[in-house]
Structure 1
Amino acid sequence: MPSSLSSSSSSVESLHVQIDSGVNAAKLEAANRYVRWNLLFLSIIFTFLLFPIWMPLVPYVNQVTNLVIVIIIALFQLIWLIATVCAIRRTLAINTAHKLRTSKAQDVEASDTTPSPTRHIVAMTLYKEPMTVLSTTLDSLAAQRDAPSRISVIIGMESRTPDKEAKRAEVYAKYDAKFLRVIVTFHPAGIAGEIPGKCSNMNYACREGLRILRSDPKYSYDKHEHIFTNCDCDAVFDPHYTTELESAYSQLSPADRHASIWQSTIIYQRDSMPFFVDITGVLRTFFFMGVLIPWNINPMSHYSLSVTLLEEGAFTHPAYQMEDIIALIRYTIMTRREVRIRPLNIVSINGPTSGSYWADEIREWALQVRRWTIGAGEVFHYFVVKTYRMPSVGLSVSWTVRFFIYYGLVLCASAIFSVFSPVVVQLVNMVAVEHERLFVSDSLFSAVCLVFLGTQYAVLLGVTVLVRWCLPVPGGESGGDGYNKGLRGVTRGLMHWVLMLPTILAYSFVELYSFFELAFRGKEVCKHNAANKSNLVLSS
């Protein structure tokens, strides 16, 4: 990193440590403990979902009920269509880049002998996850180009992590020689204003890890440019991840480098998955390519940025639970400049939820959906409280609309509304006063809604094909371990396609319940209960 950037790091650190740690963080947590802005989020969603019930009962308004319902469902389908077009473009870009890397691999290895001045710092947290899961992640990092000379790994454990000393010793024994530096930190418990979870653990690990690297005279921190990658302990990186990241990083001006977050497309795999876990993973991958990246909403799971932006953005907020959902808007607010999510044309793997038996799988899946939803509600509250620090009013309004469309409408309301509103309207009409229909008669309404159901399944088939059979998965050509390959893989994929809409409905109802839980229980539910990874075996 250039010396001018390094010289400002201490002042940045001293400024933000006052904001996000200890007693001051406790003050932030206590503020608006019960009257929180996620109530507005829920109110809009709930009012919206009640349209089919109250509209047929209101004189004059009831004349346009069918028309309004049709228009709203059509708008939802338009959003899915736009997301599909974005996902197709990203899939083509990923495949083109993959073919280029494959065809020129030998030429690159033969010609690229100059050591890169860029160094990488990769941080992850560990609590109760088994060491086999962490080892898979570290092995994929060790396979990166020049890992022993350019990659430093920070592993943040909680002070309450079971067998933490033995795990630290195992990490050093296996991986100390495979990376430039390996640092293991223990996050103290009971710090005022912090909630247990990845955010507070990562916040501590990053601050402590950078302090150690800067104080190491042999490391020569100030002589190098540094890129930081935040990841989960169940990530599997493509062998070309750091190479692709450096290429994208070097193509930008210094100002743009420090206002960017790089996001790879992530797929979710393990050796065996129940249909609802598999389908949720497929949909999340689709939304990476179709919504989160192109709409510039938030990064997810693992992502990269300059250490300069990491420090100016005050690392991660220890009083919030979802550091990835909050990352983009937090860094935008803290730096007062627009931060962009930029795609990496590469695919990585993350582990989905896992359970010991069927009921446990359902429980873990629902808990994960609940975590994401409550985290989104908390981020919305954080944004509204801090919105006066956004670079512009236009950016504030734009991000609010994009965030609400995705988390409020697409993930929560759209499936419930699209499936149930036609049925509810017809049931309510049985007890409502007779009225004329404008433009859309009852028979036409029923026919149009059936057409919409068909077009929705057509879009979901496109989602299935894109994610399952068109992405070059690490570990093999377009399929990794063959989970989606062969007659069995194709049959499973098509069966799961049929079950997609019921799964989306279940997901939406869990989201709606979680928004209500957050509304009634407030900050009490904003805790990051770690997902169960004890039965996770990654496909790589």
Structure 2
Amino acid sequence: MPPPPSSSGSSPTSSSAASLDLGTDAAKLEAANRYVRWNLLFLLAIFAFLLLPIWMSLVPYVNQVTNVVIIIIIGLFQLVWLIATICAIRRTLAIVSRNKLKTSKAQDVESADATANDSSNIRHIVAMTLYKEPMSVLQTTLDSLVQQKDAASRVSVIIGMECRTPDKEAKRQEVYAKYDNKFLRLIVTFHPSGVPGEISGKCSNMNFACRQGLEILRQDADYNYEKYEHVFTNCDCDAVFDPDYMLELETEYSKLDPVDRHSSIWQSIIIYKRDSMPFFVDITGVLRTFFFMGVLIPWNINPMSHYSLSVKLLEDGAFTHPAYQMEDIIALIRYTIMTRREIRIRPLNLISINGPTSGANYIDEIREWSLQVRRWTIGAGEVFHYFIVKTYRMPSLLLSISWATRFFVYYGLVLCASAIFSIFGPILVQLINMVTAEHDRLLVSDSLFQLISFIFLATQYAFFLVATILVRWCLPAPGGNQYNKGVRGVTRGLLHWIMMLPTMLAYSYVELYSFFELALRGKNVCKHNAASKSNLVLVKGAGSS
């Protein structure tokens, strides 16, 4: 039977505002952000960079080195792609190797069981949020958690619903009826709306759900909270976990000493699957998985979608910031700032599944896709602002410069500017050179410049091909890769490979527009307008391995 309402975690608005972000009123959190928006610096740097081919070609004497400079910059982008490709290949090999050992050697299972027994004092807390997503999506996630080893005795689940969630009481009752006996504890909270200083979305909902959920567990005498070490997993309600996720997490967690355990975030490799996807949704998913393996984890930039950490780090880092919208992008830098120690992202060599955006028709698919890209971009701009405001609290100046550089290179240059610059930069230079006075070219003639530009285009497609092969056909995805198998799957994959550059260009334009929108509208645009999941149907069998 469902627990009484008092244990559901719902409470008046006043209680939620009483302990937000280190115990301060959420309304105070905006005080330092109201007048200067540091994301303007982010946009200014991107815009100046994109205008580089124009002004260099028009300035006398400087235009002599324009060809060389453009080639060097595009060459650096290619170097970034090369490094990302090497990292992605290494991660893919590690995942494939683990998968082969798991399926071919019985002693590996015994070894894993022994590890689990050695860490039997570990309990898991998994938290997710729900607003307007259909219950079928949530049930797919919960079903994958039920498959975890000893879920009924070691895994507790917190589901944070919004007070404005349609039919929230009926949904709560349905969740309890189906899953109350499947987990050690099942807690549903209702996040109040209209808390001063908060923005509606996952960050504020998750912040409330975690605080309420942990308080309920600590007050539960039968749970014996202090007896155990707790590992927390933050996820979306459309996450499908590998059946060995918790076991693998415990294994990696137990390898570290206590200091490193509480200074680490674990990230599985996420792929995006559903029964049918437009090419731009499918390609975006492939590239995001590639960047998981090649950039976000090895460059230690930020976790994404669902990730795990110790509850101690979660609490030391003051949970999630209720005045921001992207709790995953902000997680690493926020915990680094709040704890004043460097936090590392550590990979889990297994695959998880997230549902991509979905729409009722093709036009709706485009709208939902652009909405998601816009939300990621505005979230990245807001995180950069947060970092600048709080940078004086970073453990060291070197770490501040290093992280800011990596963050800007990825979100500002690779995702937003590189495709536009690499395609249109050489074209603009050649067009301007045709109408301006002739001048000497230093080192690189116009004909050689054109040749090198085409070579870079070819190498870019070579990197796209490697990313396509790795994600579509090499990763051992739960439920198999039926979507990409057979003549139809291979043909679709190759056609989507050809469309990768146009998709990246469209992605870049949406990002650039979003940065301008954030600059013009400021905090008013920083709202968590989540992409729709109402038409989401994950690939059948995705929850099984």
Q: Give the TM-score normalised by the residue count of structure 1.
A: 0.95
SS at match of 1:355: coil
Residue 454 of structure 2 is aligned to residue 453 of structure 1? no
TM-aligned CA deviation for residue 102 of structure 1: 1.6
Q: Which residue of 1 aligns with 2:420?
A: 416
TM-aligned CA deviation for residue 167 of structure 1: 0.3
In 2, Cα distance between the equivalents of 1:31 and 1:19? 16
In 1, Cα distance between the equivalents of 2:18 and 2:398? 30
TM-aligned CA deviation for residue 530 of structure 1: 1.9
TM-aligned CA deviation for residue 108 of structure 1: 2.5
TM-aligned CA deviation for residue 56 of structure 1: 1.0
In 2, Cα distance between the equivalents of 1:106 and 1:366? 48
Residue 368 of structure 2 is aligned to residue 364 of structure 1? yes
8 Å contact from structure 1 (residues 21, 318) kept in 2: no
8 Å contact from structure 1 (residues 85, 290) kept in 2: yes
Amino acid at match of 1:20: D
Q: Which moved more, 1:16-25 or 1:438-447?
A: 16-25
Aligned-residue CA RMSD (Å): 1.6
In 2, Cα distance between the equivalents of 1:67 and 1:283? 29
Q: Which residue of 1 aligns with 2:9?
A: none
Q: Which residue of 2 aligns with 1:8?
A: none
SS at match of 2:133: coil
Q: Which residue of 2 aligns with 1:98?
A: 99
In 2, Cα distance between the equivalents of 1:363 and 1:378? 22
Q: Which moved more, 1:331-340 or 1:93-102?
A: 93-102
Q: Which residue of 1 aligns with 2:471?
A: 467
Q: Which residue of 2 aligns with 1:509?
A: 509
Q: Which residue of 1 aligns with 2:306?
A: 302
Task: Map 1:65-464 onto structure 2 (within 5 A).
Answer: 65-105=66-106, 108=109, 112=114, 114=117, 116-464=120-468
Q: Which residue of 2 aligns with 1:9?
A: none
TM-aligned CA deviation for residue 100 of structure 1: 1.4
Q: Give the TM-score normalised by the residue count of structure 2.
A: 0.94
Amino acid at match of 1:189: S
TM-aligned CA deviation for residue 17 of structure 1: 6.3
CA change 1:49–1:289 in 2 (3 A) is same
In 2, Cα distance between the equivalents of 1:466 and 1:242? 25
SS at match of 1:348: strand
TM-aligned CA deviation for residue 532 of structure 1: 0.5
Q: Which residue of 1 aligns with 2:43?
A: 42
Amino acid at match of 1:388: Y
8 Å contact from structure 2 (residues 358, 365) kept in 1: yes
Residue 25 of structure 2 is aligned to residue 24 of structure 1? yes
Amino acid at match of 1:48: F
In 1, Cα distance between the equivalents of 2:263 and 2:323? 24
8 Å contact from structure 1 (residues 143, 239) kept in 2: yes
8 Å contact from structure 1 (residues 185, 208) kept in 2: yes
SS at match of 1:430: helix
In 2, Cα distance between the equivalents of 1:109 and 1:176? 30
Q: Which moved more, 1:98-107 or 1:484-493?
A: 98-107
Where do 5+ consecutive residues of structure 2 fail to align? 1-14
In 2, Cα distance between the equivalents of 1:141 and 1:189? 29
SS at match of 1:31: helix
TM-aligned CA deviation for residue 106 of structure 1: 6.9
TM-aligned CA deviation for residue 109 of structure 1: 5.4
8 Å contact from structure 1 (residues 262, 305) kept in 2: yes
8 Å contact from structure 2 (residues 340, 395) kept in 1: yes
TM-superposition CA deviations, 1:63-93 (whole Å, max 9, x none): 0001100110000000000000000000011
Amino acid at match of 1:497: W
Q: Which residue of 2 aligns with 1:522?
A: 522
In 1, Cα distance between the equivalents of 2:215 and 2:267? 26
Q: Which moved more, 1:61-70 or 1:427-436?
A: 427-436
In 2, Cα distance between the equivalents of 1:318 and 1:326? 11
